[in-house]
Chains A and B, each alone.
Chain A
């Protein structure tokens, strides 16, 4: 017998569904994880970091602050903390922030060095159809991508790997810790909200316009495709509940979005594109987690605010295609001041190593138009705000008692180009120690090739 469950015309947001006539309670099928995590935190390195400039990620700043880490968790953040008998680290002149969270990465699928094999058939996007809602990007991730090691050494502790923006329904994301493991499941972070990628605008329509492909060729076609997809999913839900149809992984994933259990990350640039997808979400009764790239979100901050949708932005990618013409470096400070939720994202393994520098560029551009953003606010763009998008905001992205101890001890101001991650803790264990570079992670790919470090 297939799964049970009831789907009204409005999909219930409840996680658990009662199977009629059955004793057991089974969770909605889109909540199943066919690829469970095998991540186990390393043995904790308890420590008391003393006398740093602490940016807590949630808007607070303590000069001369201490952070106490025990058993993988943050125990206390404050001044002149008592040492319960743990290793003490002199952090005077240095800064402490939560670990950086990058919500838009293709690490493990856009693996450098690229070769003709990638150009022939890339793992970034599944492009057999504009609907790849049944795909899980983790089944493609190459854990040996050295970009994970570079990210870790740059203070990144959480990465959301998204499928690419060629399909309209691009599939599920995975959230990982940039730690060495033989497979992605040894890196997979749990406890957040399952992410999903969608795309609008030039990328999907260009793919559809190719003679070999069968998909919408215009913006209006892309939006119509989305609406039809959700309508079909609703119909499937009713039929499935009545036991009439076989399981359909694509429709099931879209039902998860409609139920509020699967969170949409939507690749969109132009203001009109963003407004259109926000309308689609409203029509079908779900909330889009974030518009990614969102290069014109600064023109419509109110729409994002009202929708409860964040913007995940670059500081300075612009111009390379028509829909990116109006990107401005000051976007993050403009959105912040307008009360919208904003975060930095990378989309590249290079920029992913410098998300705080990206924030610094954005803040500098804000100064040019009279908007001053203090460091304790800027750091939200790379820590607590991205944590919210991933549904991990009670676990990471903030330095407060009870949070998982994902944090970075920086050699100086984290927004300075000269600063480096001296110490990176993931779940309270030292994952990177700049004083011991030889103990740092090296991917299997790099091993024995000489020269790459």
Chain B
């Protein structure tokens, strides 16, 4: 048995079939609202084997002593664009948007870059998975298809592609169809046309089935046209994510979900608290930014920091994403997520619910499942040096797919290089 010192940057030997035991953990399993104290968490083969108070350490396991500090499932961003952008001010380093007018399908998975400095910093801040979404495209109101990323410390960070069709409705500075009425109309037309085509006993549907046999859904590398994804939305296989803020649009979204019998996810939702009841009734979850308390646009006039608490109280599933707005939601995707969850707690969301909003909920909303720290869970977890929702807390050890990964970002390397300069 080797003991891994709780020092930053010191990682366990990257053995393929590594057994790791995290000892003396305040383990947030996410099964209940309280942590398991003095837990031993045993990890093997990329899975959590056991979480046991005072549990034994298996022979040969690498040990990470949590020293009584919190251990949580790896955090999950409900919406970010890390891996698609490097220097946002420079267009030649951005991959968030498609300008292809021929294909409404824009699958971001082929652009994901695990070597990005934004990804390593996000991972160092305790995030192990994230929903990566496309920006507005040339086929409004559709942006394209979102992916789930797994923040391994290598270039391939794709977990699951095509997990949602992503659309944007409302006022905004980007190229739109004019009035939001036209945006809704375009969305209804696409869904209506696809539903009629699916109902017709034509050959197209057979062709689709043949396509589906090519491999498991979500690993197809994004070669399908947007129309195919719309059929998946109509079949209930993936949600339609609608990024929108205004109460009137959120109510339109709830009505749309009922009319077509589809799963809808609201992203943004500054005024979602005003439509909490219809959202709860339609089982529409909301991915929101709890930091927001100033309206970026007229669509967001009702923005308030207890949005998450009000929605959760009404029975709406809430996840945190796009946290911190323009710069932070990508450049500090991990820190802003924790800060946002902390602000949600400060504004009335129960602590355990806030942790769920950055673990279990985003994975369930985006159809992935998981995000727990229980026997059989994916071994994505983080050892913290304090309350993970405090920005003053550091992630001491991050484990992705059962392997301890580096928590040193490029910022750490720069800071160390100049530490003794006077």
Q: Which A residues are closer than 8 A to B by beta carbons?
A: 112-116, 119, 146-147, 150, 202, 298-302, 316-322, 325-330, 334, 338-339, 349-350, 353-354, 357, 360-361, 363-365, 367-371, 415-420, 449-453
List chain B residues, Cβ under 8 A from A298: 415, 418, 421
* CB-CB under 8 A for A320 and B89, given A334-B419, A339-B422: yes
Partner of B296, one of A114, A357, A419: A114
* CB-CB under 8 A for A452 and B303, given A115-B298, A119-B173, A417-B346: yes
Look across to chain B and name the residue whose beta carbon is closest to the beta carbon of A319.
B331
* B324 proximal to A (CB < 8 A): yes
A113 near B297: Cβ-Cβ < 8 Å? yes
* B59 proximal to A (CB < 8 A): no
Report B396 CB to chain A, min CB distance, Å: 10
Cα separation A322 to B88 with both chains bound (whole Å)? 9
Cα separation A370 to B419 with both chains bound (whole Å)? 9
List chain B residues, Cβ under 8 A from A420: 346
Partner of A451, one of B302, B324, B411, B421: B302
* B249 proximal to A (CB < 8 A): no
* CB-CB under 8 A for A418 and B346, given A316-B328, A316-B331, A453-B304: yes
Report B121 CB to chain A, min CB distance, Å: 8
A417 near B331: Cβ-Cβ < 8 Å? no
Residue interface mask B321-349, A partner, CB < 8 A = 1: 00011011001100100010011011000
* CB-CB under 8 A for A147 and B294, given A338-B421, A365-B411, A417-B339: yes
* CB-CB under 8 A for A364 and B294, given A299-B418, A417-B342, A451-B271: no
Most buried by A among B301, B303, B327, B328: B327
Look across to chain B and name the residue whose beta carbon is closest to the beta carbon of A331.
B415
* CB-CB under 8 A for A330 and B411, given A349-B294, A451-B274: yes
Report A293 CB to chain B, min CB distance, Å: 12
* B393 proximal to A (CB < 8 A): yes
B422 near A338: Cβ-Cβ < 8 Å? yes
* B258 proximal to A (CB < 8 A): no
List chain A residues, Cβ under 8 A from B297: 113-115
Cα separation A299 to B422 with both chains bound (whole Å)? 9
Cα separation A172 to B295 with both chains bound (whole Å)? 28
Cα separation A375 to B393 with both chains bound (whole Å)? 15
B90 near A321: Cβ-Cβ < 8 Å? yes
* B291 proximal to A (CB < 8 A): yes
Most buried by A among B173, B339, B415: B415
Residue interface mask B367-411, A partner, CB < 8 A = 1: 000000000000000000000011111100000000000000001
A452 near B332: Cβ-Cβ < 8 Å? no
Partner of B392, one of A147, A360, A370, A452: A360
Cα separation A402 to B392 with both chains bound (whole Å)? 33
Cα separation A115 to B172 with both chains bound (whole Å)? 9
Look across to chain B and name the residue whose beta carbon is closest to the beta carbon of A333.
B415
Look across to chain B and name the residue whose beta carbon is closest to the beta carbon of A453.
B304
B419 near A452: Cβ-Cβ < 8 Å? no
B87 near A417: Cβ-Cβ < 8 Å? no
Report B310 CB to chain A, min CB distance, Å: 12
* B281 proximal to A (CB < 8 A): no
* B300 proximal to A (CB < 8 A): yes
Residue interface mask B287-326, A partner, CB < 8 A = 1: 0000111111110111110000000000000000000110
A319 near B117: Cβ-Cβ < 8 Å? yes
B291 near A350: Cβ-Cβ < 8 Å? yes
Report B412 CB to chain A, min CB distance, Å: 6
Q: List 19 A-B contacts (CB under 8 A).
A: A112-B295, A114-B296, A298-B418, A316-B331, A318-B411, A320-B87, A321-B87, A325-B87, A328-B415, A330-B411, A350-B324, A353-B293, A354-B339, A357-B339, A360-B392, A364-B391, A417-B345, A417-B390, A450-B302
* B8 proximal to A (CB < 8 A): yes
Cα separation A51 to B413 with both chains bound (whole Å)? 43
Partner of A301, one of B8, B295, B296, B422: B422
List chain B residues, Cβ under 8 A from A202: 89
List chain A residues, Cβ under 8 A from B335: 316, 361
B389 near A451: Cβ-Cβ < 8 Å? no
List chain B residues, Cβ under 8 A from A365: 411, 415
Look across to chain B and name the residue whose beta carbon is closest to the beta carbon of A305.
B422
A320 near B327: Cβ-Cβ < 8 Å? yes
* B132 proximal to A (CB < 8 A): no
Look across to chain B and name the residue whose beta carbon is closest to the beta carbon of A119.
B173
Cα separation A369 to B408 with both chains bound (whole Å)? 11
Cα separation A353 to B324 with both chains bound (whole Å)? 12
Main secondary structure of the interface of B (DSSP, over half): loop
Q: A298-B421, A361-B335, A368-B394 are in contact. List 8 more A-B contacts (CB 8 A).
A: A113-B298, A317-B327, A320-B89, A328-B411, A338-B422, A371-B419, A417-B342, A452-B301
* CB-CB under 8 A for A363 and B304, given A321-B87, A418-B345: no
Cα separation A318 to B293 with both chains bound (whole Å)? 23
Most buried by B among A338, A368, A453: A368
Look across to chain A and name the residue whose beta carbon is closest to the beta carbon of B417.
A299
Cα separation A302 to B274 with both chains bound (whole Å)? 54
List chain A residues, Cβ under 8 A from B292: 350
List chain A residues, Cβ under 8 A from B274: 451
Cα separation A298 to B417 with both chains bound (whole Å)? 10
* CB-CB under 8 A for A368 and B332, given A299-B418, A452-B301: no
List chain A residues, Cβ under 8 A from B88: 319-321
* B118 proximal to A (CB < 8 A): yes
List chain B residues, Cβ under 8 A from A325: 87
Report A371 CB to chain B, min CB distance, Å: 8
Partner of A360, one of B345, B389, B391: B391
* B414 proximal to A (CB < 8 A): yes
* B259 proximal to A (CB < 8 A): no
List chain A residues, Cβ under 8 A from B332: 316
List chain A residues, Cβ under 8 A from B294: 112, 146-147, 150, 349-350
Look across to chain B and name the residue whose beta carbon is closest to the beta carbon of A419.
B346
Look across to chain B and name the residue whose beta carbon is closest to the beta carbon of A153.
B293
Report A314 CB to chain B, min CB distance, Å: 9
* B214 proximal to A (CB < 8 A): no
* B416 proximal to A (CB < 8 A): yes
Cα separation A298 to B342 with both chains bound (whole Å)? 29
Report A431 CB to chain B, min CB distance, Å: 18
List chain A residues, Cβ under 8 A from B416: 369
Cα separation A447 to B255 with both chains bound (whole Å)? 30
List chain B residues, Cβ under 8 A from A326: 414
* CB-CB under 8 A for A416 and B411, given A320-B87, A322-B87, A339-B422: no
A350 near B411: Cβ-Cβ < 8 Å? no
List chain B residues, Cβ under 8 A from A449: 301
Look across to chain B and name the residue whose beta carbon is closest to the beta carbon of A326.
B414
List chain A residues, Cβ under 8 A from B418: 298-299, 334
List chain B residues, Cβ under 8 A from A452: 295, 301-304
A364 near B331: Cβ-Cβ < 8 Å? no
List chain B residues, Cβ under 8 A from A350: 291-294, 324-325
List chain B residues, Cβ under 8 A from A450: 302
* CB-CB under 8 A for A417 and B343, given A367-B394, A369-B419: yes
Cα separation A367 to B292 with both chains bound (whole Å)? 29
List chain B residues, Cβ under 8 A from A317: 327, 331
A329 near B411: Cβ-Cβ < 8 Å? yes
Cα separation A449 to B303 with both chains bound (whole Å)? 12
Report A353 CB to chain B, min CB distance, Å: 8
A322 near B422: Cβ-Cβ < 8 Å? no
Report A136 CB to chain B, min CB distance, Å: 25
Look across to chain B and name the residue whose beta carbon is closest to the beta carbon of A271.
B418
Cα separation A339 to B422 with both chains bound (whole Å)? 8
B331 near A320: Cβ-Cβ < 8 Å? yes
Q: Which 4 A-B pairs have the closest CB atoms?
A: A417-B342, A451-B302, A321-B89, A360-B392
B271 near A319: Cβ-Cβ < 8 Å? no
